[in-house]
Structure 1
């Protein structure tokens, strides 16, 4: 049976909360500024209930195996588009990786964005996360901007 993509429901929140912590753990090696312990990147309940967001899940025989969202956001005034869909919370359970499920999610999120009249999609990814960068490039994304940081507390 094929892995299906569907909209997340409030009943999915416990599994999605777990996916979020797994995602945080996977990203910690790329970002020393993520604090230790339980971290919340997103208000998942709000994403489920927001008409300007689509939180999708991947389901295999009743078990959630991945997720991702698109959220319509206002663009900066100097850009050629007024709104865009921000993509986030892209997660696939390790045993299901390499099956094209990330692409499946992105395709459905693109369809949703287009149905809302949105033709621009953006996301953030750690530059050192080569596998993720390649997956997003395969889905049609290209690098746009590099965010840099430094700690200045030791001056």
Structure 2
């Protein structure tokens, strides 16, 4: 098994990357329920993605961002069959608070069957190398606080907590 990284191609990768995104969103729904002390309901989460038309919305975002100079996307593939097993989507944009350009990790995904092999580190290194090539020294990533593996990973690359979003659920709807 040989894992390689290549550029994202909308014609061949869009459906798979959308599936990756939906899986990532389902995991985030589970994490958000956990952090809020709410029961997690998989069927409800799946339906929320349908109701929001999340797949179509993300497809539109990918198409809009793909050709922009300020954005890069890569797919991690298991060669020689070129089976996609991961995805990285990064962007350079002004920081909301400072207005200074920042390299943002918008999305990183590794197929669960391939996790634990330091592939996320490979993707982050690729994204950070691109940020450096573009002259961007500031970096950002948004991470759910109870996604401990991701928090630890980003911290190992020098990321630190910059702010907190606090939530509360009183147990009623």
Mark yes or no: TM-score above 0.5. yes
1: CA distance, partners of 2:49 / 2:8:
25
Aligned mates of 2:49, 2:105 — CA distance in 1: 25
Q: Structure 2 residue aligned with 1:109, among 123, 127, 137?
A: 127
Listed one character per residue, the Cα deviations across residues 56-80 of structure 1 (whole Å, up to 9, x for unaligned) are 1101110100011111111246x4x
Tell me how far 1:36 sits from its aligned partner. 1.4
Q: Aligned in 2, Cα 1:76/1:18: closer, same or farther, shift over 3 Å?
A: closer
Q: Aligned residue for 1:73?
A: 93
Alpha-carbon displacement from aligned partner over 1:8-61 (angstroms, at most 9, x marks no partner) = 011210100110111111111122597713325741222322210011110111
Where does the alignment leave 5 or more consecutive residues of structure 1 unmatched? Answer: none
Using the alignment, how far apart are the partners of 2:96 and 2:109 within structure 1? 28
Q: State how far apart, in whole Å, the 2-side matches of 1:48 and 1:63 are.
A: 21
SS of residue in 2 equivalent to 1:57: strand
1:151 Cα deviation after fit: 6.9
CA contact (8 A) 1:47 1:55 kept: no
Scaled by the length of structure 2, the TM-score of the pair is: 0.78
Instruction: Show CA shifts across 1:96-124 (max 9, x none).
Output: 10111000000000011111111111010
Q: d(CA) in 2 for partners of 1:47 and 1:100?
A: 27
| Unmatched 5+ stretches in structure 2 | 37-44
Count of residues in Structure 1 that have an aligned counterpart in Structure 2: 151
Which has more helix, going by share of residues?
Answer: 2
In 2, Cα distance between equivalents of 1:31 and 1:46:
28
Distance 1:18 1:70 in 2: 18
Q: Find the residue that maps to 1:31 and give its secondary structure.
A: helix
Q: Name which of 37, 49, 58 aligns with 1:37.
A: 49
